[in-house]
A and B are shown apart, each in its own frame.
Chain A
Amino acid sequence: MDIEKILGVSFESGKHGIKGEHRSKINGNIKKSLDFDRTFNRGNDNPWDYLLESNDAYPFVEVHPAKSGGNLDEVFSKLKWMRDWIIKHKNYKELRKEKSRFIWLHTGGFNIQYTPRDPKVRALSSAKIKFPPQGVVDCDRLEYFTLQQILNI
């Protein structure tokens, strides 16, 4: 099933759904993009910034600072929000079968002191999120997994 039909929204072609200042951080064959935050945030929600279509997969991208432990908490909360949102989605059964990744792109460098044993760091690893986060991503070089596998749902 087509992702636009599953979610009931229209994507923009290429990188047009991505804010201008973020486009250079996201490379590779991007067929379509959606400003996911603008589309689904009803005010107090916590979604990831973008959803892309790339190489028959649908990676989520969050452009977020990585300057303090607080930023780690924020991205962790966003990941939890995304999982809840997907589980509650009316087309959950189709959605969970789609191939995806969650990508955290930092703004202005990485500077979080952490111990790897922190459960939040483990949660990111479990969801196959690269941590420490990176400055740019090449979507053509990513290995994709089903959302079911990534989010343990």
Chain B
Amino acid sequence: MSIKKISVNNLGPITQGEVEFGDLTLFMGPQATGKSILLQHFKLLNDYKYIYKYLLSKGFSLKTEDEFLQGYLGENMNKVWNKNTQFTYTEHNKSAQNQFSIKSDITGKQIRISKDTGRSICFYIPAQRVLIYDPDGWVKDFGGYPFSYPFVIKEFSELIRQYITTDDKGDLFPKRNLKGEIKDLIDKNLFRGARLKKERIAGLKNRLVLDLKQESGTIPFVSWSAGQREFIPLMLGLYYLLPAARSEKLKDVDYVIIEELEMGLHPDAITAVMFAIFELVQRGYKVIISTHSAHVVEIVWAVKNLLKSANGSFVKGFAEIFSQNSTNGTIKDIANKLQLNKKSFNVYFFNPEDGGINIDDISSLDTLDEKTAGWGGISAASAKINDIVSRY
């Protein structure tokens, strides 16, 4: 099942909203407005058979709605559903709206379990990704977390652990999964020549280290910069999605969800990561990002604007955003595919006005329209500062 549109009423703090997913979709809004809850439910909708099977295999009791919701969302998060919660969805290439509920689709139904039950089509990179490191600097497995933690962090951690455990192709950064231009931008803005490696501690156990090529030896994760600690799990997630082999994308994965992409990153590093995001989009993934970063929205706004230009101008503008030369083959390839394949960019604002949270479609990001010019409150603070400086 691949979902193109969802509609929710009374889910956690969300009063009501309708979201149609584009090739790149942004969720914006202040803290605690339900962005993460909705993203986790979007994954649930797409992957519930897989999630059910996974949780069962890890020893969770899933007999009631409350048990299932706590197993999936985390301790006490079952309360985001109440008697007035409604959740509907429309699949790609279909027009029917279908109801979804935990009871009728999961716990009240006998989901048959076999080795092929359910595939995960949503790859979820959670906001708490910095939690994946164990005290030695390796990556925790699913069972390395308390029962009360959300499924999405445990699943992400497990997938990354498996990836780096089986990867035996040299350093973890730089690596050829990333195109040279993206790799160079990431190196310039995040690693500054350092290499990410696996290192054996006392011949017993692996850990992740940065090798600065200095005589002082390698640097364990506790001494990395905050930005590096936040970014490395995200980068490993990108490796997972960008196989170095011939295939463009992972066959099973349609959606990539990234919470708070900007965490710990300087705007130049955000630009580098956004370059990789457009690479994911042109490869055919549909990417959903929640963000508080004006810079992320600025890049999407710029690309949306430039897409209206003739192809030559679009390629030049796109290249300049990422400080690249427009004659470069990789840039041309990514830009051409974005424009020729008419990739869509949708933006939603979790609007806390009117006593609840409504989800507003602000995809136009139209700066001349009052409803969209504030970019979901992200610009309001700057406008206020300008106004104060202009008055006093």
Contacts and interface: CB of A to CB of B under 8 A. Distances in A.
A6 B387 CA distance: 39
Nearest to A73: B390
A87 to B, nearest CB: 11
Interface in B35-92: none
Nearest to B313: A143
Interface stretch (B102-110, B349-357, B364-372): B364-372
A68 B368 CA distance: 20
Interface residues of B, number: 22
B305 A126 contact: yes
Given A123-B368, A151-B368, A115 B385 contact: yes
A133 B367 CA distance: 18
Contact of B368 (A80, A145, A149): A80
A113 interface: yes
Given A83-B368, A152-B364, A119 B383 contact: yes
A114 interface: yes
B323 interface: no
A117 B379 contact: yes
Nearest to B373: A119
A118 interface: yes
B294 interface: yes
A118 B382 contact: yes
Nearest to A152: B366
Interface in B96-128: none
Most-contacted residue by chain B among A83, A113, A118, A149 (CB, 10 A): A118
A103 interface: no
Most-contacted residue by chain A among B301, B364, B367 (CB, 10 A): B367
Contact of A119 (B309, B364, B367): B367
A135 interface: no
The secondary structure that dominates the A interface is helix
Given A69-B390, A79-B368, A119-B367, A149 B308 contact: yes
A83 B368 CA distance: 9
A69 B368 contact: no
A119 B384 CA distance: 10
Contacts of A83: 368
Interface in B333-392: 364, 366-368, 373-375, 379, 382-383, 385-387, 389-391
A119 B374 contact: yes
Contacts of A123: 367-368, 373
Given A122-B301, A122-B367, A123-B368, A69 B386 contact: yes
A120 interface: yes
A118 B308 contact: no
Contacts of A80: 368
Interface in A34-83: 68-70, 72, 79-80, 83
A70 B382 contact: no
Most-contacted residue by chain A among B294, B368, B375, B390 (CB, 10 A): B368
A152 B386 contact: no
Contacts of A113: 386, 389-390
Interface of A: 68-70, 72, 79-80, 83, 112-115, 117-120, 122-123, 126-127, 145, 149, 151-152
15 contacts: A69-B386, A69-B387, A69-B389, A80-B368, A117-B294, A119-B383, A120-B367, A120-B386, A123-B367, A126-B367, A126-B368, A127-B368, A145-B309, A149-B309, A152-B308
Given A69-B387, A120-B386, 20 more contacts: A69-B391, A70-B390, A72-B390, A112-B390, A114-B390, A115-B385, A118-B386, A119-B373, A119-B382, A119-B383, A120-B367, A120-B383, A122-B301, A122-B379, A123-B373, A126-B305, A126-B367, A145-B309, A152-B308, A152-B364
Kindly list the 9 A-B residue pairs having the minimum CB-CB distance in the complex, ordered from nearest. A69-B390, A123-B367, A117-B382, A119-B379, A119-B373, A118-B386, A122-B367, A115-B382, A113-B389
